[in-house]
Chains A and B, each alone.
Chain A
Amino acid sequence: MIAELLDGLKGLKSFPRGIHPPHRKGYAEAEPIRLFSPKQDLLIPFVQHIGAPCEPIVKAKQDVAYGEKIADASAPVAAPIHAPLAGKVGAGTMAVLPSGRRVPAIPLTPAAEGEPVPAHFLEQYLDRNWGGVEPSGFDPDEICQKIRECGVVGMGGATFPTHIKLKRNPAKPIDTVIMNGCECEPYLTSDHRLMLESPEAIVVGLQLAARACGAQRAIVAIEANKPDAIEVMRQVVRDRPGVEVAVCATKYPMGGERQLIPAVLGRTVPSAPKGLPLDVSVVVVNCATTHSIARAVVRGQPLTHRVVTVTGLGVSRPGNWLVPFGTRFSELIEHCGGVSEAALKVVAGGPMMGPTVPNLDVTVVKGTSGITVMTEAETARWQETPCIRCGLCVDNCPLHLSPTKIAHAVKFRDYGLAGAYDMNACCECGCCSYVCPAHIPLAQYIRAGKDQVRLKAAAKK
C-alpha cells in the first residue's frame, strides 16, 4: 500500500496489489544483441502459435532459401512458418516445445556453402533507419495480410496470431494500442535490449498496429526500472505524432494485459476467459511483436529469428542473442559457456511464469523470450506446509481472487467450488505462490484445476 502511494506520487502508472520480486536483470542487461549462427541442424516445430497447427509445404531433402515459407495452415487462426536459415530440409519427425508438448517438426541442415542468412543480417534486423516510413500510407487490410504472410505472432509468450488480434471488428472498435515494453519478469532483458538497439522499428510497428485496428492513440509502456529505454523511446516518439510514452511502476505483473490496461488507461478488463482487452477498446502488443510487425509490413521480412535472453547464475556467459527458430537449447547454452554444476532448473522464459524443461533437447520457438538457468541459490525446493489462512495470497492477487480457496477446492477435486471462486479468471501470474508463507504451490493447483475443467468440458463434447 505504501509502495503504491509512493508510485502515485512519482507519477508512475500502477495497478492495485501485485508484488515486487527481485529484478536480477543485471546478468544480461548490459549485453548487446548478438547474432547466433547454429552449426547443428535446426528442428523446426509446426506448432509455434496458438491455433491450428501448420502443415509442411516442403518435401524431405528439398533445398530451401532463407525466409522461404516451409509450413502453413488454411485455418484462419494460424501463422505460417519460414525457413530461418538456408539449407536442406530433412524427414518429418517430432520436437519438444518448451511447454513440454511433443509436436511434429522438420529438421533443417544449415547450408554448407554460402551464408545461411542474408548478409549483414544483424545490422538489418536492428536497423535504425525508419525515418521515411509513414504508417498512414498503409491500408489496414494490407497490414494484416502482410503480418500473416510473414508469420508474426504474439512474442510475449502467448503466441496468438497477430493479424487476428489487429483485424478491425465493427462490433468492438479499438481506440488505443499499447506497446508492452514492461518486461516485468525478473531476469529477462530481451525486450529491454531491443528497445535500446532498435527503437524506431518498434515505434513504427506500433503505429502500423494502431493503423490496422483503427486506434487513434498509441502508447509505449515501459517499467520505471529501464530509464535508458524510456529516454531512447521518448526521443524516438518526439517526431512521431500520436505516440506517447507511459512510465509504469516497477511491479509484477505489470506486463499482464489485465494489469497494464488499468494502470495506463484506468479501464478494467472484464474477467477471463470471456473478457478481453478489446472489450474495453484496447489492444496490447508486445515489444518484440511490434518490431516484427514493422519488419514484416514495411520490408516484407518474415519472422525467422527472435532475441532470446540466456541468463541466470547457472550459465557462464549470460547474453542476449538473435536466435533462429528451431535452435536447440543445448547448442545455444553451450555457446554461452554451458551449464554450471550448480544449475538446478532450466526455465523457458522468466522465473515467475516460465515452464521448466527436463533437459536441453528443446527448441527455441516464436514465444521463447529467454532461457533462465537457475541454481539452488536462486530458487529452491519448497516443502508445502498447512495453510494458516494469513490472507497474503488474497491481499496480493492482482485479479482480486482468493487463491487459497481455489487451490484447496482443486485439492479436494471440487471444481464447482473452485469455479464459484472464479478460478477461470486467474491469469496464472504466480503472485500467490510467491508470497505464500506456507509454500503452497497455489498457482500450480489453480493451473491443474483449470486443466481439469478444460479436459472435462472437452470430454463432454
Chain B
Amino acid sequence: MSEAPTVTQENANAEQPQGPRSFLVSSAPHLASGTSTRCIMFQVVLGLVPLWLAALYFYRLDALILPLVTVAACLIAEAVANAMRGRDQRSLTDGSAIVTGLILAFSLPPDLNPYMAFIGGVVSIALAKAIFGGLGQNLFNPAMVGRAFLMICFPAAMGIWTEPVTLARIGDTAVDGVTMATPLGAAMDPSVLIPSLWDLFCGRVGGSLGETSALAVLIGGLFLVFRRVADWRPVLGMLATAFVYAAIAHRINPEFEGPMFHLFAGSMMFGAFFIATDYVGAPITPVGRILFGIGVGGLVMTIRLFGAYPEGVMFAILIMNALTPLIERWTVPTPFGGHVAAAG
C-alpha cells in the first residue's frame, strides 16, 4: 500500500514534460545590477578600514576594543529587537548594524570605558533604529543618537581626550594616561597651543578614535565616493560651506582659526564622508542632498565658533536629520519633461 503513492508521483513526474510546461511569471525588468544592501554596507566597512588602521596606529589597544564592543552591542540590540518584533534575524547579516557600530566607535574618545561604549551601541540600534521600524525607517542617524546619549549620560568621560601614542616618548610607561586638549578645544582656549596643519592632517592630535586623521578619512571616503556608495553632493556641500564660513569668519575676526584648520580639525572630514552621506537620515533628492550638506556645514561652523561646545558635527547631523522630510518636500525633482500637471 505504501508504495502506491510513490508510483503515482513518479508517473506524474514522467508525464510532466509532455504536458504544457509553465514558467515563472514576474514583472519586468528581469535583470538586476547585482548590487545589494549587504554589498553596499560591506563597501562602507571597507571604506572605514583606513580609519581603523590609523586609529590602531595612534591608540593601539583602545582602537581594537572600542569598535568590537560597539559592533557587538549593535548586533545584540538588533537581534533582541528582531526577536521582540517577531522578525527573522536576516537583518543581522545585512551589515547595517556593523556600520552603525563602527561609526559610533570612531566618534568616541579613545579612552572611553567599554561599558559606556556598549550602552551607546545598544541605544543607537534600540532607540534610534529598531523603535522606528528597523533598517531604512529611522529618522536620525543611529550612531549620532548613541553618541548624543553618551554625552548626556557621561559628560565627563566623553570629554577626555587621550594623547596619541606617537606623541609620547617611546618607552614612556604613562602612555595610557596622558590626556590633552583637542585642536578644537585649543582653539577655544587661548592658553593652549594650536597644532600645525600637517599634524592635523595626519592626525597626530587629540580627538575621537577614528576621526583625527584627515588623511585616513580622505582615503576611505574618496574610495566610497568613487565607488558611488557615498554621494558626492552632501560631502561637497558640507565641506564647501564650512570652508567658506570659516574663511569669512577668519577674515572678519582673525582670532577665529582659518578655513583649512576647520576642515582638518575634529570630525569635519569624518562627518562629511561617513555621517552626512548616511542614506537613511538624509534627503533622497539630488538637490536635497546638497542642501543637507550645506546645512550640516553651516551648523557645524556656527556651533564651533559661537556655541559652548568645541565640536558640532553630531548636533548638526541630528538637526539636519530632523529637517530632512521638509527638505525632501521642498525639492521634489522636476521630471525631464516638466511636471505632469504642468504638461497639460
Residues of A whose CB lies within 8 Å of any CB of B are: 19, 21-22, 186, 258, 262, 268-275, 330, 339, 343-347, 351-361, 372, 374, 378-382, 385-392, 394-395, 398-402, 404-405, 419-425, 428, 430, 433-439, 441, 443-444, 447
Contacts and interface: CB of A to CB of B under 8 A. Distances in A.
Between A22, A271, A372, A378, the greatest number of chain B beta carbons within 10 A of the residue's beta carbon is seen for A271
Contacts of A395: 286
Given A271-B336, A271-B339, A351 B31 contact: yes
Contact of A352 (B20, B31, B96, B279): B31
B219 to A, nearest CB: 20
B28 A344 contact: no
Given A389-B136, A400-B333, A438-B37, A347 B30 contact: yes
B26 interface: yes
B336 A389 contact: no
A269 B342 CA distance: 13
A379 B21 CA distance: 19
Contacts of B342: 271
A240 to B, nearest CB: 32
Contact of B280 (A385, A389, A421, A433): A389
Name the residue in B96, B134, B340 with the highest tally of chain A Cβ atoms < 10 Å from its Cβ.
B340
Contact of B31 (A22, A269, A394, A421): A22
A391 B284 contact: yes
B14 to A, nearest CB: 14
Given A268-B337, A386-B137, A351 B23 contact: no
B278 to A, nearest CB: 9
Contacts of B279: 388-391
B253 interface: no
Contacts of A379: 30-31
Given A268-B336, A389-B136, 15 more contacts: A270-B338, A271-B342, A351-B28, A352-B28, A354-B30, A359-B22, A361-B20, A387-B136, A388-B136, A400-B334, A402-B332, A419-B340, A424-B340, A430-B29, A447-B27
9 contacts: A262-B336, A345-B25, A351-B28, A359-B21, A382-B32, A422-B335, A424-B340, A425-B337, A425-B340
B257 interface: no
A438 to B, nearest CB: 6
Contact of B335 (A357, A359, A400): A400
A434 B340 CA distance: 24
B12 interface: no
A360 B20 CA distance: 8
A270 B31 CA distance: 29
A269 to B, nearest CB: 5
Nearest to A373: B23
B135 interface: yes
Contact of B32 (A272, A374, A380, A421): A380
Contacts of B137: 386
Contacts of B33: 19, 21, 434-435
A343 to B, nearest CB: 7
B86 interface: no
B301 to A, nearest CB: 26
B336 A434 contact: no
B343 A443 contact: no
B21 A360 contact: yes
Interface in B3-40: 20-33, 35-37, 39-40
B332 A358 contact: no
Contacts of A275: 337-338, 343
Given A271-B337, A437-B39, A404 B284 contact: yes
Contact of A388 (B135, B338, B344): B135
B31 A402 contact: no
A391 B289 contact: yes
Contacts of A405: 284
Interface string B25-67: 1111111110111011000000000000000000000000000
Which among A22, A339, A385 has the greatest number of chain B C-beta atoms within 10 A? A385
Nearest to B339: A422
Contact of B284 (A330, A400, A402, A430): A402
A435 B35 contact: yes
A99 B332 CA distance: 33
Contacts of B28: 347, 351-356, 428, 430, 433, 443-444
Given A344-B24, A345-B24, A374 B40 contact: no
B176 interface: no
B40 to A, nearest CB: 5
Contacts of B24: 344-345, 356, 381
B231 interface: yes
B32 A439 contact: yes
A236 B340 CA distance: 41
Given A258-B337, A359-B21, A388-B40, A402 B285 contact: yes
Interface string B251-282: 00000000000000000000000000001101
A41 to B, nearest CB: 16
Interface in B130-154: 134-137
Given A385-B94, A386-B134, A346 B31 contact: no
Given A351-B30, A356-B30, A437 B35 contact: yes
Nearest to A262: B336
A358 B30 contact: no
A112 to B, nearest CB: 27
A428 B29 CA distance: 9
Nearest to B32: A434
A186 B40 CA distance: 26
Given A343-B23, A359-B23, A434 B29 contact: yes
Given A339-B21, A361-B20, A400-B334, A390 B40 contact: yes
Contacts of A271: 335-340, 342-343
A228 to B, nearest CB: 25
A262 to B, nearest CB: 8
Contacts of A330: 20
B276 to A, nearest CB: 13
A345 B26 contact: yes
A447 B28 CA distance: 10
A385 B134 CA distance: 11
A400 B134 CA distance: 28
Nearest to B332: A421
A422 B334 CA distance: 9
Interface string B305-344: 0000000000000000000000000001111111110111
A399 B25 contact: no
